[in-house]
Structure 1
Amino acid sequence: MTAHLLTSRSEKEILWYQRRDALKAAAAWLAMGGLPAAMAQQRSNIVQLTGDALLNGARLDPLQSIQTGDDIQTGPGSNLVFVIGNSSFQVRQNSRLAVERGATLNAVSLLRLLTGAVASVWGKGVNRAIVMPTLTAGIRGTGVYAEIFAERDNRNYFCNCYGTVDMDAGKQKLVSQADYHQAFWADAEAKNGVFLTPAQALNHTDEELEFLARLIDQRTTWQIAGRKGNKDGSGKMTY
């Protein structure tokens, strides 16, 4: 298991992917053919749910399906993993987000994170974004982690775990290209003239991204390359 830095998150919460129920759920999801089979058989696209969550204000049943246009809210101690189209999502406890519709019912055009944190892996596509209070991230095909730190005056944190992301915060724009975790703080007010400042890779693991990538038949850049970096937030691998 790779080393990871935690800020206001418990080890148990970060290591959800090691739980027997999560591993069994993922194995069953893949054995039954993933999302195409779930859609054809009209089964749920929820891979795993621990604890309580709300879907559009009503308690979420694991047999339900999450669709674009839905509002999702997780409770204390909960963990939610689901797949829509060619994207997979893991929602931490005490989080709220909305998934907005793209060209079709099963295409996510925008993920709007209001509170909490979400890890996600996106297949290739266009016109998709993650929106946070102080940051918009244009997604091309990548794995990312986003969190709003309530204990830090709702400061926004974003890690481009791998791939290419178009970053937009305040009056600042940049393109993040990462092979292995390039992280940023996005601030509402400029600090020393910039809105985006470098950060370390916090509160998420390589194994979480690998888990999510597998659900949509993908591999991370470090799995493909067979090597990793030192997870300092620079986005570079060790060569």
Structure 2
Amino acid sequence: MTQHYLEGRSESELLWFQRRSFLQAAAAWSAVGGLSAAHAQARGNVVELRGDATVNGKALEPNQSVQTGDEIATGPRSTLIFVVGNSAFHVRQNSNMVVERGPTINAVSLLRLLTGAVVSVWGKGSSRQIVTPTLTAGIRGTGVYTEIFSQQGGRTYFCNCYGVVDLASGNDREVSESNYHQAVWGEPMLDGRAALTPARAINHTDEELEYLARLIGERTAWQISGKKGSKETEREYGG
């Protein structure tokens, strides 16, 4: 188990990949051919649902699908793991987000996170974004963790766990190239201060990214290279 830091989250939220129910669900998902087989067999794309979640205001059932264009909300002590196209998502408890449609019904063009947190792994592609109230991230092929801290003025925590991401917050713009966790805060603009500020890796683990990558038939950068860097590396950010 990799070292990780908690800030406002419980240990159990980060250990979902150890649950027997998830391991069985993930094995079943892979055994029947993943998303392509789900479409062919008219099965849902929800890998696991624990607790309560709604799609467009209606209760989500484990055998249903999350489609692009849907608004998703999870309740307390709930978790939702699903796959759309070549992207996999783990939505933490008390989260609200919209997955907007791309060129096809099975392509996500934009993930709009309104509250809460989501771990996501994206296969290669272009013209995709994650948007929060204080940050926009242009996604290529990458694994990321995004969380909105409502109790801290709505600031956004964003970690580019691996890959290339175009970051924008306020007047600040940066290209993040990471092989192993490069994190920032997207701050509300106050008194002309920089909106992008460095952060350390919090509230997510390597294993979470690895399991989500496996659901779409991929591997993380550190699995491919066979080595990991330091989560403590920080850069200077500015406009």
TM-score by length of 2: 0.96
Q: What residue number does 1:170 align with?
A: 170
Q: Retained in 1: the 8 A contact 2:101–2:108?
A: yes
1:83 aligns with 2:86: no
Identity %: 63
The C-alpha deviation readout for 1:113-160, integer Å capped at 9, x for no partner, is: 000000000001110000000100000010000000122122111000
SS of residue matched to 1:109: strand
The answer to whether the Cα contact below 8 Å between 1:129 and 1:137 also exists between their aligned partners in 2 is yes
2:52 maps to 52
Q: Distance in 2 between matches of 1:53 and 1:67?
A: 14
1:209 aligns to what? 209
Q: Which amino acid aligns with 1:181?
A: H
Which secondary structure state, in structure 1, belongs to the residue aligned with residue 116 of structure 2?
strand
Higher strand share: 1
1:186 aligns with 2:160: no
Alignment of 1:1-239 (within 5 A): 1-190=1-190, 193-234=193-234
Letter in 1 for 2:155: R
RMSD of aligned C-alpha atoms? Answer: 1.2
Structure 1 position 192, deviation (Å): 6.9
Query: CA offsets, 1:42-85, max 9 Å, x none?
Result: 10000000100011001111111100000000000001000000
Mapped partners of 1:191, 1:134: distance in 2: 15
Stretches of 4+ aligned residues off by more than 4 angstroms? none
Determine if contact 1:198/1:233 at 8 Å carries over to the other structure. Answer: no
Query: Structure 2 vs 1, CA of residues 209 and 191 (structure 1 numbering), >3 Å: closer, same or farther?
Result: farther
Unmatched 5+ stretches in structure 1:
none
Task: Report the CA distance shift for 1:225/1:192 in structure 2 as closer, same or farther (over 3 A).
Answer: farther
1:233–1:37 CA distance, 2 compared to 1 (3 A): farther
Residue type at the aligned position of 1:200: R
Q: Which blocks of at least 5 consecutive residues in structure 2 are unaligned?
A: none
